[in-house]
Amino acid sequence: MNGTELLQSINSPQDIKGLTLEELAQLADALRRMIIETVSARGGHLASSLGAVEIVLALHYTFNSPEDKIVWDVGHQSYAHKILTGRRNQFADLRTRHGISGFPNIFESPHDTFGVGHACTAISAALGFAVARDLRGEDNFVISVVGDGAISGGIALEGINHAGHLKKNKFVIILNDNEMSISKNVGAISKYLTRISTKKLYLQLEADVWELLGKIPSLGGKARILAGRIKESIKNLVVPNLLFEELGFRYLGPLDGHDLRELINTFSHLHQVPGPVLVHVITKKGKGYPFAEKDAEKFHGIGSFYKKTGNSRSKSKKEKYSKIFGKTLSAMARDNDRIVAITAAMKEGTGLSCFAEEFPGRFFDVGISEQHAVTFAAGLAREGMIPFVAIYSTFLQRGFDQLIHDVALQKLPVRFILDRAGIVGEDGPTHHGTFDLSYLRLIPGMVLMAPANENELSRMLYTALQIDDTPSAIRFPRGTIEGVPPKDADVPLPVGRGEILREGADGVILAVGTMVNPSLQAAELLAAAGLDMTVLNARFIKPLDEELIKAFVRPGMPLFTVEENIVTGGFGDAVGKLISENELSNQIKVFGIHDHFVPHGTRDELLREEGLVAEEISRRILEKTAPGSHLDQGGGR
């Protein structure tokens, strides 16, 4: 059987148990081919998944999933795990609407032990599993697989701290170290890991100790004590400070993460090691696909591409919003040396690469540490610097207390730049930025803006620069710009003022951010159907343009608010409050994402499902304003 045929015969992890090392290696090749095939067609997280293939095989070969719990951190490296755990035939539909998710999902398979998409959660969840196991008197292994990027995040370190204290048996962390986060990994822990990975002598001696243990099992405890002493002295000689050992873990490694024999050998001895264990495994991100090995950052998360050349299939030449942000901030920073930029491991994604290059001394990649990023910025602002903190909408959820306690309570003028706000598409519910209008709006003093196009984004950045007595935030979507000509791009907008885009006598559409253009298009469709609508671009969610709203909304005038955010606590809620407090109208309808988690799929299909495209907006408005309808009767929200 060749590797591909072998893979066709694997329907569950049980099916790989009897394979030889040679067959496992063939399987690794076939898994890589399947992953490359699918991701080149569907897009996805290629480089991390390719790098983890042997780890996946060795884990499923050695342990018994789902009784033994394998907990993935971030989950973007788990494609081979998905294929081996009964989802081979669905894999071609990865990340498509109704296809399987790009991340572990407990509703998809019993082998996906914990849902994930955000980084640094695996150790804490795994520790919960281990404690529950012990309380129930069970005996299974709990193994978390964590990258070197994720292990330096706050929750991961909190988990290690707790695990080192609880000292649970059969609690294993596989540290998958490829020296990369999305970009090159940063930070003191990363440097430390590199230092210990290069201690080849130590590796050799450590292996000898384990061999000694394996060779003379009858000596049991004594051999272990002897080995322990040898190890201790070697450790002190060669690696002066073994961080993980000091924190209560047995440290094993570093191992070659692509050597199946070494991995399986080590994993199968883990039951002999008491207490929590950290196995340090060195892998190559992108392994097996030369383009991804060469440029792991590009192939970390990628849209569809041509397998032969590695080039993107996307023909769009339009710039991305993040690029506009990066370029504008760089231009602003040329005139103002107090401007600093902060990212939490997303230099490229947030568009800050150009800033980092031009102002290396004023650029800070803090690693996957969103909470720290926010409070670090607060400290900078307190000392008179002008920090712009660029964090994807979904990841800033991590920094909620810091936003309130460290920034807003002290009225510190930190500027938050929320990329990927709204529906992001194929990454799905872990990654949609559908909550930020709600979680930012409720913070006292926060100025909250959403541009309808790139020109407004630029103007809002200049506006944020001027707001120096309170925090501010700008949220904008994933993807490409509208393509409007620049006009007054460096002129700040009046804070809390919206704009009139169209005037009509039959009703008002008050839209914000990405929903402004579809609302305008909806108004055109409605005009053709005989309904003449006013369209207002709110620009500011907080403070709201009360004057503008009061000028257009009166009893009997139907009002529709449109936002790409969960309706609970969002823009429409704010408008509704204004309307009811001032008794302006009892005819308001809020369009947005209703109270649920949006699934994965393309951004376009999901927006359509949520009713947030022009045709749906106009259809719903027609429905609501039809004679005898709810709003026609003066109905409320």
Closest separation between CB of residue 285 and ligand TPP, Å?
Answer: 6
- Evaluate whether 529 touches 503 at the Cβ level (below 8 Å): no
Strand order in the sheet with 588-593: 499-502, 533-537, 507-511, 559-566, 588-593
With beta carbons less than 8 A apart as the criterion, state whether 182 and 148 touch: no
Plot region of 585 (φ>0 → left; ψ -120 to 50 → alpha; else → beta): beta
Provide the minimum distance between the beta carbon of 117 and ligand TPP in the complex, in angstroms, as a whole number.
6
Residue 147 to residue 614: CA distance in whole angstroms: 42
Residue 593 to residues 526, 564, 610, Cα–Cα distance (Å): 22, 7, 6
Indicate if 87 belongs to the active site: no
Q: Which is nearer to ligand TPP, 144 or 585 (CB)?
A: 144
The nearer residue to ligand TPP, 28 or 541, going by C-beta atoms, is 28
Whose Cβ is closer to ligand TPP: residue 285's or residue 432's? Answer: 285
CA-angle at 106, arms to 31 and 167, nearest 5° = 90
Which is nearer to ligand TPP, 120 or 613 (by Cβ)? 120
Judged by CB, which is closer to ligand TPP: 355, or 392? 392
Contact (CB, 8 A) for 67 and 98: no
Least distance to ligand TPP from the beta carbon of 487, Å? 34
- To which H or E segment does residue 251 belong? strand 250-256
Number of Cβ within a 10 Å radius of residue 258: 19
Of 287, 398, 478, 542, catalytic: 398
The answer to whether residues 460 and 451 touch, using CB atoms and an 8 Å cutoff, is yes
Nearest approach in angstroms of CB 358 to ligand TPP is 23
What are the tokens at 41?
């067609």
Separation of alpha carbons 342 and 385, rounded Å: 12
Q: How far is the CB of 179 from ligand TPP (least distance, A)?
A: 8
Catalytic residue status for 370: yes
Catalytic residue among 42, 285, 415, 475: 285
The residue number with the shortest CB distance to ligand TPP is 147
Q: Closer to ligand TPP by CB, 159 or 572: give it.
A: 159
DSSP state string for 300-348: TSB--B-TTT--B-----PPBHHHHHHHHHHHHHHH-TTEEEEESS-TT
Site residues (CB under 6 A) for ligand TPP? 48, 74, 76-77, 118-119, 147-150, 176, 178, 180-182, 285, 344-345, 368, 370, 395, 398
Q: Pick between residue 345 and residue 493 the one whose CB is nearest to ligand TPP.
A: 345
Give me 65's structure tokens.
Answer: 């999933």
| Minimum separation from the CB atom of position 302 to ligand TPP (A) | 13
Residue in 54, 206, 370, 564 annotated catalytic: 370
| Alpha-carbon span 127 to 45, nearest angstrom | 26
Token pair belonging to 154:
């706050």
Which residue in this structure is represented by tokens 């070659």?
A: 256
285 is annotated as an active-site residue? yes
- Write down the least CB distance from residue 176 to ligand TPP, Å: 6
Count the helices and strands in the chain (H runs, E runs).
25, 17
- Which residues are annotated as catalytic? 285, 370, 398
